[in-house]
Every structure is written in structure tokens, then in C-alpha cells.
A and B are shown apart, each in its own frame.
Chain A
Amino acid sequence: MAIASPDTPVRTARITRVFIYLFLLLFALFYLLPFGIMVINSVKPLSEITGGNMIALPREWTIEPWLSAWSTAQIGVQPTGLRPYFINSLMMAIPAVLLSTAVGALNGYVLTKWRFKGDTLIFGLLLFSCFIPFQIVLIPMARILGILQMASTTQGLILVHFVYGIGFTTLYFRNYYAAFPTELVRAAQIDGAGFFQIFWRIMLPSSGPIIAVSFIWQFTNIWNDFLFGASFASGGAAPMTVALNNLVNSSTGVREYNVHFAGAIMAAAPTLLVYIVAGRYFVRGLMSGSVKG
């Protein structure tokens, strides 16, 4: 009745926790399953897959599919493997991420610490750019790249991703810097620091978490982008995503599923790596931006 045993709340809490963990484990396994199957099949000879054995571990282990996907597989008409396209993607993603993050940080700094007439309107417009669907900008962007003579080049793709990313990076940095104490900027002004000195010496050193957020977000989006890549950089300048598609679609004769699996893992690896290395900053940065801002 009213006399509850003293350990009751503790015990129920423990039981609940066991259930929660079981549940989470189940989901984690469920989500890992496709990736596991990809890995398993990328180290099997093709005959084992076509023999109807998708789920089981390989009877004969081989890294041949990986080597083939990387350097000899047929991409479109050339037997180059994915390597040149992987490099294309790196050459595109790294500059675009750095540029859009730098400009976003500067925008966020100005929009919060150097307020001017109409700044909220400008921020609103920048924010609006986050919600413009990709498809709408395709034709104007193609025209601009044509005028700039950057069609079908990696530089062209850098420009597209850089410009498209500014809206997001500005949003991140503005929210983060809105919570950054303005008194620090004022103190630095009295100390005689100028516009860029304040940015470089005071703001940026305290921006680690939000820089991580911006890097991860931008890198994942740019690396995974297919539409812009397919539209503006066909042929030799194509990024990894487009090349993977070509690999899967263009192989003549037998479909080398094991090679496709290996290529798909290669395409996903960099974003996975970025999440594993910087993922905890991502959560921390998003929290500090949204909760305090």
C-alpha cells in the first residue's frame, strides 16, 4: 500500500534503462546492416555474389574488387578507376568548404558585432538562400559559369558550392556570435584592435565548435552533391558521386557488384571519417549556437 520499499524507484530505473539500451542496440544493428553487407560483398569474388550468397561471409577473401574500383574499372568509356574522380572531389570540396566557412564567419561577425542599417534584411535574404531548391539555380548558374568560362571545370564547381554554402555558414556563425559577449569586442576596440584584428585575435580563437559544424555540414553536402556535379562538370572534371554513378551504370557485359560495393564505400568514406573525427564538435557547436543564441 503506502509503504513502498525504498529501492523501488532505483530498480524500475534500472529495468527501464536495460530496455532502452536493448532497443537502441537493435536500431543500431538495423542501421548498420546495409553497410555491413556492402563491406562483406566488397571483399568477395563476384561468383559468390551471383551464386546467390549475399548475406554470408565470403568463403574466399579478396581485395581485388577494391583495387579494380580504385584504379582500373571502366568509368564511362575510360578504364581509369575512381581515383581521378576522388581527387576531383577533394580538389572541389576542400577549397569550397574553406571559402564558404571563411566568408560565413566574416558575415556572422559583421551581422552581430558591427550592426548597420538594414542588417536584418540582409541576413533574411542570406537565410532565404538556404531554402532555394537546387533545381531553380541550375539554369542561371549554367549561364554564369558559361560567361566565366568555367563550365565543366573543378573551379566552376568550387564557385557553385562556395556561393551556395554562404547562406548556411552565415546562419551558423551569426547564431554563434550572437551569444558571443559584445563587451569583449568593445574591450578590444578600446585596446586599439581594428576590425580584422578583433576578428582574427578575439573571435576566431573562440569559434572552434562552430567552425567544426560548418566544416562537417559543408563537406558532407558538397561531397555528396550529385546534381551540381552532373550538371556542371561532366567528363574528366566529374566528382566522385557522378563517377560512381557512371561506374555502376556503364559497365558493359557482367555487372561487377563487388566492385560497385567497393566504389560506394570509397565514395562514403570521407564523410564518415569527418563525422568520426569531428562529430562531437558538431553536436557541441550546434548546441551552443542554438541554445544560447
Chain B
Amino acid sequence: MGFLDIDNVTKSYGAVEVLHRVDIDVDEGEFLVLVGPSGCGKSTLLNMIAGLEGITSGEIRIRGRVMNGVHPSRRNIAMVFQSYALYPNMTVGKNITFGLEMHGTPKAERDKAMRDVAQLLQIEHLLDRKPGQLSGGQRQRVAMGRALVRDPDVFLFDEPLSNLDAKLRVDMRTEIKKLHQRLGTTIVYVTHDQIEAMTLSTRIAVMFDGHVQQLGTPKEIYDSPANLFVATFMGSPAMNVLPTRLEERNGMLHALLTGADGAERALAMPHAPAAASAHKDAEVLLGIRPEAITDPEGADRKARTIQPMTNRVTVTEPAGADTFVTMTLSGKDCIARMRADAYVEPGRDFDFAINMDKAVLFDPRTEARIA
């Protein structure tokens, strides 16, 4: 049993079930990120943990205590909202201590807690201002201060960075991560940004359509996606998904693709999962991340199977650190991620190196990974 147990929880609005049997155990000190596209039910699940939404069936426990029906203020949780939800009529200091005041903490203790938190977040000079006189990043800090001051069992964040500009978002992301490492608190964090999910979490729950599609560490999610949805949702640019045919040649499975010239390209998969042989001579989907397709010099030295492949380059997009190269494979656009100084020219043939260790196969019918 974990620190925060989400035990077979469902949520219905009237006859419509928007969350289906969600089952997640969170350990103490974990940073769980709920990620998924808009409308998948992330906020709903978070609000159910907070007690702001009722639980239709199942149980939510914190430290073994059943939370169903317990008022939000008695769950010992704190929440940071997307809009920050700072009380506009109160000063920053009052905003931070309002919760303590409502819980009957004496004034002297409140003031001490406020100063400690203000120091931690470096917002001491803002304590007498109203939220309307703060920048977005400062508001964000105050909202975190309001959550921290309560010393809660679980922190809940609902897309706390989505109102910030790109640069500040990256800074605050690092800040949140530092804070987590320093305080070791248990955090459930909602975002639709897969990069945020990868960088912050100790574990990720990828959600779609009210189902948890996969629950795992960032590495598990990235390298071994449970299905096509997880594979294409996580990672930017998205994983290349190519229709392919599996055939055995020289006692080894090969994925057969069609190049831009219409000729066959065979990629050996000596380390294909055992289940792949059941799909021999059948159509499957081959998933390759852009960074697994490089120029031969840029290929991963530790990879067990690097397969060469020559193909016509359609477009190159230099992006500073990397150059993205687009080609056509089996009728689909396929993106490769090259070193910035790899010499690639559009319209010419190029010798690619494909790291087949990182390739995954999906059943086109169920969209589940073949493993």
C-alpha cells in the first residue's frame, strides 16, 4: 500500500463515465505526473484527490486514511491552480497565511511560517503587495508559497506553468524540481506538456479518454511505450510510425520498408521481442524515434544493432543544436534527428544509420506494443 492510493476510482457525470477504473499507488516522496491531451480527465482526477469533486466509485486513501467524503481542508493537501487563484483583495503575506488562519494557527506561528516560506521562495520583498501588482512568475511563486506553508502530505499542481512564457516556464520547471529534491514532498502534477512530464517526474501516468494508458518511469514510458498512443504522444518530434512487413531472412527477423525510390529497404532486428515472431509475414507498425536515425558518425557507439539505409532526403530543418531531416519511407514522412554539423542536402540520397535497439513494433489492430 502506497502513501497515496488511488484505488479503482471512476468518475461519472450523469450517465457519462469520464474516468474509468484508475488505479495508481504513489509512494512517499514521489513526483507523479498525470499527462494527456485536453479533456482526458487529468484535472478531474486531481480534483478528486483534492476533494473538490466527488468520487463515483472506488477509494482514494492518503496515509492509509480513506478520503472519500472528507472535506478538502481536512485532507492535508495543498493545491496550486493553473490561474494561481490568489485572493485579489489580500496582500501576498495574507494570501500565504490565509489557510493557517482558517485552521486556527496563532498569529506568531503564522508569521514565522510565512517568513520561512518567503525566504525559501525569495519573495520576502513582495509580502505587502497585492497579487495584481505581481508578474506572472512572482504570482507563481506566491501560489507555491501558499501551498508550502501548510506543510501538507501531498501537493497537487494543476498545469501550474501553462500561463507563463516559454523562458519563464523552463526556469520555474527547474525551480519546482529543485524544490522537490530539497523537500522530498509527495507531488501529483497535471500537465499536457510531455516535456514537463519527462523532466519533472519520477513516474508518469499517461492518460487518454479517461483511461490510464501507461504508468511508469519516464524512461519506461519513452523507451517502451505500451501502445501507439503513448508512443506518439510522448516525445517531440513524435516517434515515426511506419507500416512495415516482418519477414525472416537468414534466420533473423527483418522489417521491410519502401524507400523514396520505391525499392525495398530491409532492416534486421536481431533483438526483436520474442512475441514478434508470431507476426512473421504480417503487416505491423514499426516505431522509430527521430534520434535513432542519424548519420553513421553520429550513431550511438553502444548500440548493438545499427542498420545502414540509403534514402532520398526531402527537407532539412536546422534547429541550432540539431538538424531535422525529413524523408519518405513506406509512403510516410519520417523524421531523423542529426547532429547540427552533419552534411545533409535536400533532394540527394543520404546514408542513414538506424539504431534498431530503439525500434518498437505495434500490432496495427490493437495498437498495443508487441513485446
Contacts and interface: CB of A to CB of B under 8 A. Distances in A.
Interface residues on A, range: 10 to 19
B86 to A, nearest CB: 8
Query: In terms of DSSP, what is the predominant structure of the interface of chain A?
Result: helix
Interface in B199-241: none
Contact of B73 (A183, A192, A205): A192
A102 to B, nearest CB: 19
Interface in A185-242: 186-193, 197, 201-202, 205-206
Contacts of B103: 192
Contact of B79 (A190, A201, A202, A205): A190
B72 interface: yes
Interface in A150-202: 181, 183-184, 186-193, 197, 201-202
A109 to B, nearest CB: 15
Interface residues of B, number: 22
B195 interface: no
Contacts of B146: 187, 191
Contacts of A183: 81-83, 85
Given A202-B87, A205-B89, A186 B102 contact: no
Contact of A191 (B73, B82, B83, B89): B73
A193 B102 contact: yes
A190 B50 contact: yes
B98 interface: yes
Contact of A181 (B71, B83, B99, B102): B83
Given A184-B87, A206-B88, A190 B82 contact: no
A98 to B, nearest CB: 21
B161 interface: no
Contacts of B82: 183
Contacts of A191: 73, 98-99, 102, 146
B73 A190 contact: yes
Nearest to A204: B89
Interface of A: 181, 183-184, 186-193, 197, 201-202, 205-206
What 6 pairs across the A-B complex have the smallest Cβ distances?
A192-B73, A191-B99, A192-B102, A205-B89, A187-B85, A183-B85
Given A183-B83, A186-B79, A193-B98, 19 more contacts: A181-B85, A183-B85, A186-B47, A186-B50, A187-B87, A188-B98, A189-B52, A190-B50, A190-B78, A190-B99, A191-B73, A191-B146, A192-B73, A192-B99, A193-B102, A197-B102, A201-B87, A202-B89, A206-B88
Interface of B: 47, 50-52, 71-73, 77-79, 81-83, 85, 87-89, 98-99, 102-103, 146
8 contacts: A183-B81, A186-B47, A186-B81, A186-B85, A191-B146, A192-B102, A193-B73, A197-B102
